[in-house]
Amino acid sequence: MPDSTSVLQLNSLTIQFGGLVAVDNLSLNVEKNDIFGLIGPNGAGKTTVFNMITQHYTPTAGEVVFNGENINGTRPDLVVKKGIARTFQNIRLFTKLSVKDNVLAAMHMDLGMNWLPAILRLPPYPNKEKEMSKRADELLEKIGLLEFSNEPSGSLPYGLQRRLEITRALATNPTLVLLDEPAAGMNPQEVVELTNFIRKMRTDFDVTVLLIEHHMSLVMKLCEKIAVLNYGVKIAEGSPLGGGRRCSKLIICILNTVEFTLLKELVLKCQNVKL
Amino acid sequence: MTLSKKKTRIVSIALIALLFGFLAIVDNFLGSYNVRILSLCAINIILAIGLNIIYGFTGMFSLGHAGFMAIGAYVATLLTMSPATKTANFFMVPIEPWLLNIQLPFPVSLLIAGFVAALFAVLIGLPILKLGDDYLGIATLGFAEIIRVIINNLPSITNGSMGIKNLPDVTNIYIIYAIAVLTVFFAYRLSNNSYGRALKAIRENEIAAEASGINILKHKVLAFSIGAFFAGIGGALLVFWSNTIDPKMFTLTATFQVLTYVVAGGLGNITGSVVLAFTFTFLMEWMRFIEGPMNLGFITVHGVPGMRMLLFSVMLLVIILKFGKGVFGDYEFSINGIINFFKNLKKKSTKKGGSKNA
């Protein structure tokens, strides 16, 4: 039975590409307002899990339960409407469109008007357009991108492009945000900024966050729960700040994956845990 | 500084009035040759805008424009012609009896022509618009060829390869320009609209657009059929403009001509499509003198037929090399833009006087 506070439940999710089992019997439970980290070596199937949650891939077996509803087989754009928004590993912005238009495009699904009256600007279109524009400005101001609203989004510096992608995801009014390697390619300073940003985003927008990340410093600081994926199999799950189960396996796995320098940090944190 | 919405609207209406005043002058004083060329310019503008909505706005590389033009052209022709002219044209194979007696007023049949073209766009769009870039180009190219071959082989409906002559004289320069103005207006509205943004989002990044809640297939089919609608209207106007219809008018060359205007003007740029369709059509006619014999003083050149095509392709090369994003790039014509441009010029010339206005 789904927990009352459970936002996302994956029930023995499996996907096969030909003979390859990319994700094998994965079960997860993400609770409301969690920041949940999904880690593992390259090719472990983390992004595939995201693609199954957003229904870009159809799982071979198992189900994705979102807010108590099985969303298997829903069209990807309707999944967004239900409240799951995502960002991508390699930034995917509408590069030639302005920053504001990027956000407005994500609000298009809420327009709720047929194309012809909308294009001819029949009422209530002008009001709706004004409303959307106001909402976009508010959102951009909150994130701190308002000063760039008329710049083409492709001309923004890398860190801000990442931030804009998250903003665009937030523009769809999600309850669950999937972040695919939000800190990829960032320097330590930017990673710290991003950590604070994601934390602030959770409270400001009342969202649940599921993120994939290789920067262990970010994961350790940010996530309340972590699941480790290796060759499509979940090998560990727990919290990074002690009390985590099967921490030893976690360390072994992370040995294979991420920066060795950060390993020390992890070991220190796990010291309190009985291995 | 920018004008208020009301003032902008007044200026736009004044500009359109000016355009029609100019057309009246051309119509009354400059002879039928110029009138015909100017009309052709406007028809090409309509066709270019149609393709720009498909390729420029939404990023669907379609080579099927000639197919939609053909559909619109034949539908409008068969619905507008009188039974007498139909019988006179179909002397080899008689026309289908149910088609013979249909005769509708021109505006109605023109609209139907557009809608039939759009309907075909929906029907073929649903299966093929999932294809990406080049594959879509090939599929749409195939569609256009299929349409042309079918037309060639349906003598009881289309009169086959003999075409149809003596089309009724129902258009004039005013009607054509009115439709062109409406087309441009529609494209402009679409461009600055939530739907337009969705289309451009799909062009920029389809996966991200889908992840932003945009229904890809619906919007692609929408843009494809709107473009086909204008192609149908443009094709119909084209055959009424030339008074004959012939399957050879709708080969790949026709598509490429329109594609040239769109690409050279700048993908997704309405100003570019309009200006380039106009100038290219005009230049193609004007450059005819190159093909005539010329006396250069020291040497007399005999005319070389096709010479203007050569020059034309050189021009195209220069445009593509010089302006990678088309002549107009991202610049769109707007009344406020023009006003600001002159304001800035003024400021530059009176810079010594210091800044009067902040």
Q: Do the strands A20-31 and A6-17 form a parallel or antiparallel pair, or are they unpaired?
A: antiparallel
> What is the C-alpha separation between B220 and B58, in angstroms, rounded?
7
pLDDT band at A243 (very low <50, low <70, confident <90, very high): very low
Q: Per-residue pLDDT tens for A125-153?
A: 999 999 999 999 999 999 999 999 999 99
Q: What is the pLDDT of residues A72-97, one digit of tens each?
A: 999 999 999 999 999 999 999 999 99
Other C-beta atoms within 10 Å of A18: how many? 6
Contacts of B193 in chain A (CB under 8 A): 118-119, 121
The answer as to whether B96 is a domain residue is: yes
More confident position, B50 or A239? B50
- Residue A254: pLDDT band (50, 70, 90) is low
Q: Specify the pLDDT at position B50.
A: 96
Of A80, A33, A32, nearest in space to A53 by CA: A80
* CA-based nearest distance B115→chain A, Å: 14
pLDDT at B350: 62
How many other C-beta atoms are found inside a 10 Å radius of the C-beta of residue B243?
13
Question: What are residue B67's phi and psi, to 5 degrees?
Answer: -60, -45
Inside any domain, residue B65: yes
What is the percent of chain B where pLDDT is above 70? 96
- Residue B315 maps to a domain: no
Does the pLDDT at position B358 exceed 70?
Answer: no
- From the centroid of its chain, how far is CA B18? 22
User: How high is the pLDDT of residue A62?
Assistant: 92
Would you list the domain boundaries of chain A?
6-83+173-270, 98-167
Work out the angle between the directed axes of helices B173-191 and B31-51 (0-180°, nearest 10): 20
Question: What is the per-residue pLDDT across B192-208, written as a single tens digit (0 to 9) for each?
Answer: 999 999 999 999 999 99
Q: Enumerate the residues of chain A whose CB falls inside 8 A of the CB of residue B211.
A: 54, 76, 80, 85-86, 88, 92, 169
Q: In 3D, which of B296, B291, B231, B229 has the Cα closest to residue B257?
A: B231
User: Per-residue pLDDT averaged across B168-189, rounded?
Assistant: 93
Count Cα atoms within 13 angstroms, Cβ side, for A27.
3
Q: How do beta strands A233-238 and B294-295 pair?
A: unpaired
Q: Supply the pLDDT for residue B355.
A: 39
Tell me if chain A has a CB within 8 Å of the CB of B209: yes
Better pLDDT: B114 or B289: B114
AA identity, residue A9: Q
Residue B239 lies in a domain: yes
Rounded distance between C-alpha atoms, residue B183 and residue B229, angstroms: 10
Beta-carbon count within 10 A of B304 CB: 12
Query: Which residue range(s) make up the domain with B113?
Result: 9-256
Query: Cis (ω within 30 of 0) for the bond into A124?
Result: yes
Q: What is the pLDDT of residues A22-40, one digit of tens each?
A: 999 999 999 999 999 998 8
pLDDT class for A4, splitting at 50, 70, 90?
A: low
Other residues' Cβ atoms within 10 Å of the Cβ of residue B28: 9
B-chain residues near A86 (CB < 8 A): 211
Q: What's the pLDDT score for residue A261?
A: 45
Contact A119 B193 (CB under 8 A): yes
pLDDT in tens, B254-308: 999 999 999 999 899 999 999 999 999 988 888 887 777 777 777 777 777 778 8
Quote the pLDDT of residue A251: 55
pLDDT at A190 (0 to 100): 87
- Kindly identify which residue of chain A lies nearest to residue B190, measuring between CA atoms: A119
| Mean of the per-residue pLDDT values of chain A | 85
Q: Residue A218 is encoded by which pair of tokens?
A: 């970010």
* The pLDDT of residue B46: 97
Average confidence (pLDDT) over A239-243: 61
**3-class SS string, A40-54:** CCCCCCHHHHHHHHC
Domain count, chain B: 1
DSSP class of residue A242 equals S
CATH of the domain at B125: 1.10.3470
In this predicted structure, the answer to whether residue B91 has a pLDDT above a threshold of 70 is yes
Distance from CA of A82 to the nearest CA of B (A): 10
Size of interface A-B (CB pairs under 8 A): 96
B141 in a domain, yes or no? Answer: yes
Among the partner-chain residues B198, B204, B205, the one whose CB lies closest to the CB of A108 is B198
Q: Which of A101-110, A222-231, B34-43 has the lowest mean pLDDT?
A: A222-231
- Test mutation, A51, A74, A77, A86, chain B, max B CBs within 10 A: A77
Fold of A6-83+173-270: Rossmann fold (3.40.50)
Residue B81 included in any domain: yes
Q: How confident is the model at residue B353 (pLDDT cuts 50, 70, 90)?
A: very low
For residue A259, is pLDDT > 60? no
Please determine, for residue A178, whether its predicted confidence score (pLDDT) is greater than 90: yes
| B214 close contact with A: CB closer than 8 A | yes
Residue A105 forms contact with B (CB below 8 Å): yes
Complex ipTM: 0.86
- Residues of chain B contacting A56 with CB distance shorter than 8 Å: 207, 210
Q: Which residue does chain B place closest to A111, by CA atoms?
A: B194
Residue B115's pLDDT band (boundaries 50, 70, 90)? very high
